[in-house]
Amino acid sequence: MAKQEDQFKKVLSHAKEYGYVFQSSEIYDGLSAVYDYAQNGVELKKNIRDYWWKAMVQMHENIVGIDASILMHPTTWKASGHVDAFNDPLIDNKDSKKRYRADVLVEDYCLKIEGKIDKEVKKAAKRFGDDFNKEEFLATNGRVLGYQEKIDTILSRLGKSLENEDLADVKLLIEELEIADPLTGSKNWTDVKQFNLMFGTKLGASADTAMDLYLRPETAQGIFVNFLNVQKTGRMKIPFGIAQTGKAFRNEIVARQFIFRMREFEQMEMQFFVKPGTQKEWYDQWKETRLKWHLSLEMGADNYRFHDHEKLAHYADAAADIEFKFPFGFKELEGIHSRTDFDLKAHEEFSGKKLQYFDHEENKNYVPYVVETSIGLDRMFLAVFSNSLQDEELENGTTRTVLKLPAVLAPIKAAILPLVKKDGLPEIARKIVEDLKWDFNVSYDEKDAVGRRYRRQDANGTPFCITVDHDTIENNTVTIRHRDTMEQKRVAISELSAIIKQEVDVRSWLMKM
Ligand code: ATP
């Protein structure tokens, strides 16, 4: 646990030191759970967004994008159920006065049991060496099965209690498991209450005529209310999808995990409209497709797993999360939900307008079913960033900090370094920058010894360093150094563009899907 916390602290300080993420309004001591993306962060975030958009919109003939407003007619949120039911169960500790999400306390308790399973696996792997079969061990070891059964029983009871709004039982569960305030160890809890996460605001100048609005808590509703507009103007045929990226706002009860849980964050969502009865097929297909997208970034297949929901939201007939192994354990990164016809039907009812599709093959109207994929851009950023940050022992006994970002996502693709600040080398380096910048985000760096510059670029996540030296003047060649292997090669300046393209090109990465 301590190791995990240390790693997480490193992620936070590295994100700040290298210009990725800053606390919002830091000079005023910040605003809780609100963050700003800095000069490198904004590029990484944009590259992740583009990677998603290319895979979802550009590569699918039957998926189009929109950009709906953050402010929507307030009835939208009545129809969607958010005004009445977008709640999280909160619990206060009477001694520490700290507030928690009751369900998260229980889930974190289960994560600790999972940690014990991991320990058993590690011990056994050591004992059995090459003969170790993890799947078989998990399925047969008595101690592991006992732990797993405990987790399943707890989560199933939590799911049922939340579904039945039995908050007294959620408190009882916390007491029975003897869960203590993680910060102080106190077990003196209040009752569990529901808390609505919507941020309210007002439209209009005068107090008596102003209209109460909400900042959207998800981007999906902007797609549902535009469903027919897009279908008709785009002449879309079912099955088809509408994708969108944009800000969402939630007044989260507890937001202590950096950009994992923020009050203002960005979602990348796609709602896929299908014929009623075919939703299960599409749900399975989108689960598979989305996992492939994640795996294409080569951040380790072991770092992902599906979590099928026990407790289904009021609108869903199936739901699963893709969980990622963050520095604080496996947590939700993306949700895939089969939302039935709940949203479109609710908007029909509240607006009095028909939101139906005329199926020419079937010769009838129906309200389509929806399968959605919903991923938090900031969570994806944290997944990529934390997984890439590594301390590496080198052969000469020293260590280096390297940010092994997938090259396709790296903010800066290459740094151009003149070996010395004289003899015409800076001028050549500048010329290379001028040429490469048409195609790639590149930077120029002449300060400090070249070894230190390499380390700086490693820690910054730059996949290539290009060094201009005295031989360059003679024969128009430079050295190109690879961040991950630290291998250096002598190449002609004219080859640089092709070499970089090969590693950072979206096509070659997405082709792995
Ligand atoms: P959680 O259970 O962690 O609160 P959720 O199930 O409420 O998440 P969804 O409503 O399914 O989340 O939202 C889809 C995605 O949006 C999530 O998978 C997550 O990546 C992202 N997300 C949700 N809430 C936040 C937040 N407060 N900060 C950052 N990202 C978020």
Quick one: which of 383, 374, 380 has its CA closest to 326? 383
Ligand 1 center to residue 149 CA distance, Å? 27
What pLDDT sits at residue 51? Answer: 98
**448 inside domain:** yes
Q: State whether residue 391 is helix, strand or coil.
A: strand
Ligand 1 center to residue 55 CA distance, Å? 21
User: How many residues in the chain?
Assistant: 513
Quick one: which of 375, 356, 340 has its CA closest to 81? 340
Final residue belonging to a domain, choices 330, 357, 379: 379
Indicate if 93 and 148 belong to the same structural domain: yes
Bond before 239 cis per omega within 30 degrees:
yes
Helices (H), 439-495: 450-460, 470-475
**Greatest Cα pair distance in the chain:** 80
Ligand 1 center to residue 158 CA distance, Å? 19
Indicate if 140 and 184 belong to the same structural domain: yes
Indicate if 307 and 244 belong to the same structural domain: yes
**436 inside domain:** yes
Placement of tokens 């696996």 in the chain: 121
Token pair listed for 494: 């004219």
**392 inside domain:** no
Helices (H), 54-166: 75-79, 82-85, 102-128, 134-140, 142-163
**203 inside domain:** no
Placement of tokens 């996992």 in the chain: 291
Ligand 1 center to residue 216 CA distance, Å? 13
Ligand 1 center to residue 143 CA distance, Å? 33
Indicate if 229 and 359 belong to the same structural domain: yes
Mutation to probe ligand 1, out of 267, 311, 315, 338 (largest number of atoms < 8 A from CB): 267
What pLDDT sits at residue 163? Answer: 83
Indicate if 192 and 126 belong to the same structural domain: yes
State which ligand 1 atom lies nearest to the alpha carbon of 321.
Answer: 18
Instruction: With both helix axes pointing from N to C terminus, report the angle between 167-176 and 142-163 in degrees, rounded to the nearest 10.
Output: 150
Indicate if 104 and 188 belong to the same structural domain: yes
CB 64 within 8 A of CB 484: no
CB 324 within 8 A of CB 330: yes
Indicate if 95 and 143 belong to the same structural domain: yes
Where on the phi/psi map is residue 388: left (φ > 0), alpha (ψ -120 to 50), or beta? alpha
Ligand 1 center to residue 220 CA distance, Å? 13
Mutation to probe ligand 1, out of 80, 256, 265 (largest number of atoms < 8 A from CB): 265
Quick one: which of 105, 256, 85, 84 has its CA closest to 170? 105
Ligand 1 center to residue 376 CA distance, Å? 6
Integer Cα distance of 46 and 42 in angstroms = 6
Indicate if 241 and 360 belong to the same structural domain: yes
Final residue belonging to a domain, choices 331, 364, 379: 379
- Structural domains of the chain, count: 3
Give ∠ CA 433-434-440 in degrees, rounded to 5.
Answer: 65
Ligand 1 center to residue 253 CA distance, Å? 13
State which ligand 1 atom lies nearest to the alpha carbon of 332.
Answer: 18
What pLDDT sits at residue 210? Answer: 78
Radius of gyration of the chain (CA): 26
What pLDDT sits at residue 316? Answer: 87
**208 inside domain:** no
Placement of tokens 């994640």 in the chain: 294
Indicate if 118 and 184 belong to the same structural domain: yes
State which ligand 1 atom lies nearest to the alpha carbon of 267.
Answer: 16
CB 239 within 8 A of CB 278: yes
Supply the pTM of this predicted model. 0.90
Token pair listed for 393: 């022992």
**350 inside domain:** yes
Task: Give the rounded distance of the alpha carbon of 216 from its chain centre.
Answer: 19
Closest residue by CA, ligand 1 atom 23: 376
What pLDDT sits at residue 208? Answer: 74
Residues in contact with ligand 1 by the CB-under-6-Å rule are 218, 250, 252, 261-262, 265, 267, 332-335, 374-376, 378-379
Mutation to probe ligand 1, out of 215, 266, 374 (largest number of atoms < 8 A from CB): 374
What pLDDT sits at residue 157? Answer: 94
Indicate if 217 and 351 belong to the same structural domain: yes
> SS3 breakdown of the chain: % helix, strand, coil, rounded to 5?
45, 25, 30
CB 187 within 8 A of CB 82: no
Integer Cα distance of 450 and 418 in angstroms = 8
Quick one: which of 387, 384, 371 has its CA closest to 51? 384
Closest residue by CA, ligand 1 atom 19: 376
Closest residue by CA, ligand 1 atom 12: 335
Closest residue by CA, ligand 1 atom 21: 376
**400 inside domain:** no
Indicate if 353 and 423 belong to the same structural domain: no
Mutation to probe ligand 1, out of 254, 261, 271, 311 (largest number of atoms < 8 A from CB): 261
What pLDDT sits at residue 206? Answer: 75
Ligand 1 center to residue 248 CA distance, Å? 10
Quick one: which of 192, 249, 240, 246 has its CA closest to 217? 249
Q: Is 477 exposed, middle or buried (0-12, 13-18, 19+ CB in 10 A)?
A: middle
State the residue range of the domain holding 23: 1-70+213-379
Placement of tokens 């590690």 in the chain: 122
**24 inside domain:** yes
- Provide the CATH number for the domain around residue 185: 3.30.40.230
Final residue belonging to a domain, choices 144, 164, 196: 196
- Sign of dihedral through CA atoms 70, 45, 1, 296? positive
Indicate if 464 and 505 belong to the same structural domain: yes
Integer Cα distance of 409 and 504 in angstroms = 8
Return the half-sphere exposure (C-beta side, CA atoms, 13 A cut-off) of residue 219.
Answer: 26
- Provide the CATH number for the domain around residue 452: 3.40.50.800
Per-residue pLDDT of the chain (513 residues; tens, 9 = 90+): 567 788 899 999 999 999 999 999 999 999 989 999 999 999 999 999 999 999 999 999 999 999 999 999 999 999 999 998 899 999 999 999 999 999 999 999 999 999 999 999 999 999 999 889 998 999 999 999 999 999 999 999 998 998 888 999 999 999 999 999 999 999 999 999 999 999 999 888 777 777 889 999 999 999 999 999 999 999 999 999 999 999 999 999 887 789 999 999 999 999 999 999 999 999 999 999 999 999 999 999 999 999 998 777 778 899 999 999 999 899 999 999 999 999 999 999 999 999 999 999 999 999 999 999 999 999 999 999 999 999 999 888 999 999 999 999 999 999 999 999 999 999 999 999 999 999 999 999 999 999 999 999 999 999 999 999 999 999 999 999 999 999 999 999 999 999 999 999 999 999 998
- Provide the CATH number for the domain around residue 223: 3.30.930.10
